[in-house]
Amino acid sequence: MIVMKFGGTSVQDATAIHNAANIIQREQVRVPLIVVSACAGVTDMLIQLGELSSHGEEHKALGILEELYQRHQQIVSELAHGSTGSASGRTRSVKIANKWEGVRDTFMRDSEELRRLILSLSVLKELTPRTLDQIMSYGERWSSLLLYHELCQLRIPTIQVDARTILITNADFNHASPQMQLTETKTRELILPFVKKQQVVVTQGFIGSTSDSATTTLGRGGSDYSAAILGTVLDAEEIQIWTDVDGILSADPSILPGAYRIKRMTFEEASELAYFGAKVLHPSTILPAIEKDIPVRVLNSRNPESEGTLITREQTASTACIIKSIAYKEGITVVNVKSTRMLMAHGFLSKVFEVFAIHKKSVDVIATSEVGVALTVDSAENLEPLVHDLQSFAEVTVHHGKAVLCVVGENMRQTKGIAARLFAALDRSNVNVELISHGGSEINLTFVIKETDIEQAVKALHDEFFSGINEKDPMFDINHL
């Protein structure tokens, strides 16, 4: 069996859902488990709905609910209309029409439930992480229902399984972690019987539940992670991530539209890229797949003929290029911590890290000097108490508006002089490197620049490292969409 995950844009409207169902039909013989994200933009709207309600702005929240309701009902109308066009025979058309009526009823019931929730939250004036997870879960529940019915309409033997019955997590609402043992037991028990009968199973990405049935979510973009978790516990042959670009590209296409498709990557490269901001994969996706050595393929639902990017343990193609891709994270804050004595006091660094650990702030880039240390954090939220604690033994300055850039590639292991080329290229483009990391990994180089320099820096580095590449390179497709 395989896992196929469809992201928000791949199910954003009736056409996309119909297209996704066709892609699934082609893979039917491999018995896919389908993991679906909410239709594009829906999770953002649900969050807004929750926040507005808790600020007492129930009219605006009800307006968003109405928009969501109309959008999903519109998709039903379009998909159902397709059904009467393609159905063979009147009896079948009537049956299908009744099924779509059932979907409409569910949307109506859910909408009523959300309306009551909006009214309660606006009285309570609070939105707990637990309630937010409950609210966000509707997005995936709705999109999966639509795709399920579209698959039935194509006469593909399909069943639905609520992800909350199989993906069991801890109670860390909004950022829950899977409890792998329980998830494995539940998933195998509830999914394998259908796999054995060659049925397609549709479930939701992103959502799960605690062992006492409270709805949880895995963090934004978490459907990729759901796909990897489920694929791992089911020993899938392959995990496919269907999105809106041709695969993992040599840079973010929204900054560099001409970026190249990478044909092959290693788990380690993909992991580093995702961690350092390449939104195409959730940073945790690769970890479960590594455990069972399951290949992950990133594919384009708008261009299903493209081979996408295949991620495996070993480097399986050669290339003359030293790096594979450039990623970046925006909204970075640098915290400079200077020992109050002139020279680095014994135990100073461990004290600094202890403070970061106590405040649960993870650090991406660290640079040390004789008198201090600079660290980056990717959210300035709740930084004040941390700074306060550091100030008890150090001088602290905080700088916002930074970005972390990262170049990744297996070939970096054997190559010297990359940093020099990188600095020279950035210097020619007037981009100042403010910090560079002390090489936590042999396959990446990470550094900090001003947020406003991101575009220039990515372009300069792409020109520098990919200029010699040609059409025959076995690792890159330079002519993809």
Q: Which lies closer to ligand ADP via its Cβ, residue 243 or residue 444?
A: 243
* Contact string (CB under 6 A) for ligand ADP, positions 22-51, x = contact: ---------------x--------------
205 binds, among Mg ion, ligand ASP, ligand ADP, none (CB under 5 to 8 A by kind): ligand ASP
Between residue 171 and residue 230, which ones bind ligand ASP under the rule CB under 6 A? 205-206, 220-223
Q: For ligand ADP, which residue of 1, 3, 9, 373 counts as binding (CB under 6 A)?
A: 9
Given strand 296-300, what is the order of strands in its sheet? 158-160, 200-204, 32-36, 2-6, 238-243, 296-300, 309-312, 264-266
Question: Whole-number minimum distance, CB 369 to ligand ADP, in Å?
Answer: 32
CB of 48 or CB of 254, closer to ligand ADP: 254
Smallest gap from residue 7 Cβ to Mg ion (A): 5
Tell me the β-bridge partners of 310. Answer: 264, 297
Rounded Cα distance, 43 and 37, in Å: 9
Answer yes or no whether residue 32 interacts with ligand ASP by CB under 6 A. Answer: no
Other beta carbons within 10 angstroms of residue 293's beta carbon come to 10
Does position 254 interact with ligand ADP (CB under 6 A)? The reply is yes
Q: Find, among 466, 432, 480, 431, the residue nearest to 326 by Cα.
A: 466
**Residue from the set 13, 27, 51, 244 that interacts with ligand ADP by CB under 6 A:** 244
Place of tokens 């970005």: 403
List 9, 37, 53, 376, residue binding ligand ASP (CB under 6 A) = 37
41-80 residues in contact with ligand ASP (CB under 6 A) are: 43
56: region left, alpha or beta (phi > 0 left; psi from -120 to 50 alpha): left
Q: Which residue has the tokens 């997005």?
A: 139
SS3 23: helix
Among 117, 280, 310, 408, binds ligand ADP (CB under 6 A): 280
How far apart CA 144 and CA 51 sit, in angstroms, is 25
Pick from Mg ion, ligand ASP, ligand ADP, none: which does 139 bind, CB < 5 to 8 A by kind? ligand ASP
Options 14-22, 36-44, 318-326, 355-363: segment touching ligand ASP (CB under 6 A): 36-44
| CB contact set of 183 (below 8 Å; sequence gap of 6+) | 166, 167, 168, 169, 208, 229, 230, 233
Provide, rounded to whole angstroms, the least separation between the CB of residue 470 and ligand ASP: 36
- Could you give the angle at the alpha carbon of 424 between the alpha carbons of 420 and 429, nearest 5°? 150
Which CB, 187 or 325, lies closer to ligand ADP?
A: 325
Length of the chain: 481
Q: Is 221 in the site for Mg ion (CB under 5 A)?
A: yes
| # chain residues binding ligand ADP, by CB under 6 A | 19
Give yes or no for a contact between 338 and 387, defined as CB atoms under 8 angstroms apart.
no
Q: Does 249 bind ligand ADP (CB under 6 A)?
A: yes
**DSSP readout, 153-203?**
HTT--EEE--GGGT-BB-S-TTS--B-HHHHHHHHHHHHHHHHHTT-EEEE
Decide: is 409 part of the binding site for Mg ion (CB under 5 A).
Answer: no
Does position 139 interact with ligand ASP (CB under 6 A)? The reply is yes
Residue with tokens 């895995």: 218
Under the binding rule (CB under 6 A), the answer on residue 325 touching ligand ADP is: yes
* Contact footprint for ligand ASP (CB under 6 A): 7-8, 37-38, 43, 139, 205-206, 220-223
* Contact footprint for Mg ion (CB under 5 A): 7, 221
* Contact footprint for ligand ADP (CB under 6 A): 7-10, 37, 221, 243-245, 248-249, 251-254, 278-280, 325
